[in-house]
């Protein structure tokens, strides 16, 4: 009897990893669907059937249906062109982001790659060595003096930090270079005092504006989604686990009437400050968009980038970070999608 073909360890690892990834995403999608239906009522079964058919016939697998169903429940109807979060991760990221996209995890490279002063970098920690904002190596005493030359408080972000994790607020009085080295490699940034507009919403943490850009096959960059992320009273910085997210109109910079909690419940005002979202306009929104569209063209190897942008107290636009790998498209598709229609990405799985 011939022996069964053996599965290579790498193939087995990738299979298990992908299976768990899809299982986790579908679990999140089903949970989101239940929450949305609890608030909005049951989704139309006919529309949900359209989502199932689209997942199977257009995206190539019924396992992409759960996110499409959740989007449908939120929108009240199915819309062709939506991309499920796990389709983006399984198909789009490997084909259009790839290994180059992972350079966004390496925080100290951002300013050099984009050749832009829009990044709020003031120093770096790489391979246990300190560098100033011009990438000049510094001693422990020199770096402390340079980092705190303008403020008694700074921020340190680890490589691979995301969703508010791996972010540290450091103060001059307690700054210890030996302790900081133990954190690992990352970037030091100014502690930004935000524009007065955002202080009205939440003064305890710096609000960030996520702008999602795309570079098409003709080299043209475009804005595909925008939303405001603000923290809660207890947060020193915005965290994914507790943030309030509000869609922003792409043409005007106006906030949507409804914000969303982590669990997809909708709210019309910030629960801590009672700031009402409807009709409020993001200051200098047009200039923010122009800034990131220019940067997107500079990073033409990566076709979809999520930018975290801040407006400081002096009206200056500052780019906190960029994500060129799995940027997270779920909220954008839920509230502003389909965001990637007419790009042909729904057919990438066939290639």
Final residue of a structural domain among 170, 190, 210: 190
Q: Is the residue at 222 inside a domain?
A: yes
Task: Tell if the pTM clears 0.85, that is, is over it.
Answer: yes
Instruction: Specify whether the CB–CB gap between 260 and 266 falls below 8 A.
Output: yes
Element (H, E) at 121: strand 121-126
Q: How many CB atoms lie within 10 A of CB 273?
A: 16
DSSP state of 56: H
For the cut 90, the answer to whether the pLDDT of residue 92 exceeds it is yes
Q: Reply yes or no: is the peptide bond before residue 296 cis, omega within 30 of 0.
A: no
Q: Please report which confidence band the pLDDT of residue 164 belongs to, taking 50, 70 and 90 as the band edges.
A: low
Q: Which pLDDT band holds residue 326 (cuts at 50, 70, 90)?
A: confident
- What is the reported pLDDT for 80? 97
- 131 and 184 housed in the same domain: yes
Domain assignment present for residue 230? The answer is yes
CA distances from 174 to 124, 137, 148, 170 (A): 18, 22, 12, 8
Q: Is the pLDDT of residue 178 over 90?
A: yes
Determine if the peptide bond prior to 338 is cis (ω within 30°).
yes
Whether 1 is in a domain gets the answer no
Kindly state whether residues 179 and 227 are assigned to the same domain: no
- Rounded Cα distance, 225 and 211, in Å: 6
Does any domain span residue 245?
yes
**How far is 264 from 251, CA to CA, in rounded Å?**
24
Residue 1 has pLDDT above 50, yes or no: no
Q: Provide the β-strand partners of residue 248.
A: 255
Query: 176 and 251 share a domain?
Result: no
Residue 10 has pLDDT above 50, yes or no: yes
The gap between the terminal CA atoms of the chain, to the nearest Å, is 37
Instruction: Give me the pLDDT at residue 3, please.
Output: 55
197 pLDDT above the threshold of 90: yes
Give the mean pLDDT of the chain.
93
Q: Three-class SS of residue 16?
A: helix
| pLDDT value at 165 more than 80 | no
Q: Which domain does 53 fall in, by range?
A: 9-80
The reported pLDDT for the residue numbered 15 is 72
Q: Say if 90 falls within a structural domain.
A: no
What domain count does the chain have?
3
3-state helix/strand/coil string of 230-284: ECCCCCCCCCCCCCEEEEECCCCCEECCCEECCCCCEECECCCCCCECCCCECCC
Same domain, 341 and 227: yes
Q: Are 61 and 200 members of one domain?
A: no
Q: What's the mean pLDDT in 285-290? A: 98
Do 267 and 303 belong to one domain? yes
Tell me: do 239 and 108 sit in the same domain.
Answer: yes
Backbone Cα Rg of the chain = 22
Classify residue 142: in a domain, yes or no. yes
pLDDT the model gives residue 159: 92
Q: How far is CA 332 from CA 225, 317, 324, in A?
A: 6, 22, 16
List, for residues 54-76, the tens digit of each pLDDT value. 999 999 999 999 999 999 999 99
Judge if 216 and 339 occupy the same domain: yes
> Domain boundary at 162, 190, 218, which?
190
Q: Average pLDDT, stretch 89-106?
A: 94
Per residue in 37-49, pLDDT (tens digit) is 999 999 999 999 9
22 pLDDT more than 70? yes
pLDDT at 5: 57
Q: Determine the pLDDT at residue 9.
A: 78
Note the pLDDT of residue 162. 66
- Provide mean pLDDT across the span 223-242: 91
- Weakest-pLDDT range from 10-24, 235-249, 288-302: 10-24
The β-bridge partners of 276 are: 269
Residue percentage of the chain with pLDDT more than 90:
83
Residue-level pLDDT at 235: 87
pLDDT of residue 257: 97
pLDDT tens readout for residues 235-275: 888 888 899 999 999 999 999 999 998 888 899 999 999 99
Reported confidence tier of residue 16, pLDDT bands at 50, 70, 90: confident
Flag whether pLDDT at 14 surpasses 90. no
Where is the domain boundary, 190, 207, 238? 190
């Amino acid at each position: 009897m011939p022996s069964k073909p053996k599965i290579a360890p790498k193939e087995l690892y990738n299979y298990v990893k992908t299976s768990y990834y899809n299982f986790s995403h579908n679990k999140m999608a089903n949970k989101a669907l239940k929450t949305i239906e609890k608030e909005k009522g049951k989704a139309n079964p006919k529309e949900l059937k359209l989502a199932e058919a689209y997942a199977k016939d257009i995206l190539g697998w019924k396992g992409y249906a759960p996110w499409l169903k959740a989007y449908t429940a939120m929108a009240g109807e199915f819309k062709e062109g939506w991309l499920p979060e796990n389709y983006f991760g399984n198909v789009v990221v490997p084909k259009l982001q790839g290994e180059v996209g992972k350079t966004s995890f390496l925080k100290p490279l951002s300013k050099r790659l984009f050749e832009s002063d829009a990044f709020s970098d003031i120093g770096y920690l790489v391979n246990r060595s300190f560098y100033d904002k011009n990438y000049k190596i510094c001693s422990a005493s020199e770096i402390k003096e340079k980092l705190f030359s303008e403020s008694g408080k700074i921020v340190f972000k680890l490589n691979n930090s995301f969703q508010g994790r791996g972010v540290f607020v450091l103060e001059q009085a307690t700054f210890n270079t030996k302790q900081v080295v133990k954190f690992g490699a990352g970037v030091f940034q100014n502690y930004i005092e935000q524009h007065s507009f955002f202080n009205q919403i939440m003064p305890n943490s710096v609000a960030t504006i996520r702008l999602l850009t795309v570079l098409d096959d003709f080299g043209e960059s475009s804005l595909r989604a925008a939303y405001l992320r603000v923290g809660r009273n207890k947060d020193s910085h915005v965290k994914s686990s507790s943030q309030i997210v509000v869609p922003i109109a792409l043409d005007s910079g106006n906030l949507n009437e409804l914000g969303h909690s982590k669990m997809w419940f909708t709210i019309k005002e910030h629960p801590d400050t009672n700031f009402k979202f409807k009709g409020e306009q993001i200051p200098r929104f047009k200039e923010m968009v122009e800034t990131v569209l220019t940067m997107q063209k500079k990073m033409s190897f990566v076709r979809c980038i999520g930018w975290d942008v801040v407006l400081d107290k002096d009206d200056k636009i500052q780019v906190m970070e960029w994500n060129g790998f799995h940027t997270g498209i779920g909220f954008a598709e839920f509230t502003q999608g389909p965001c990637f229609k007419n790009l042909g990405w729904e057919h990438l799985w066939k290639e």
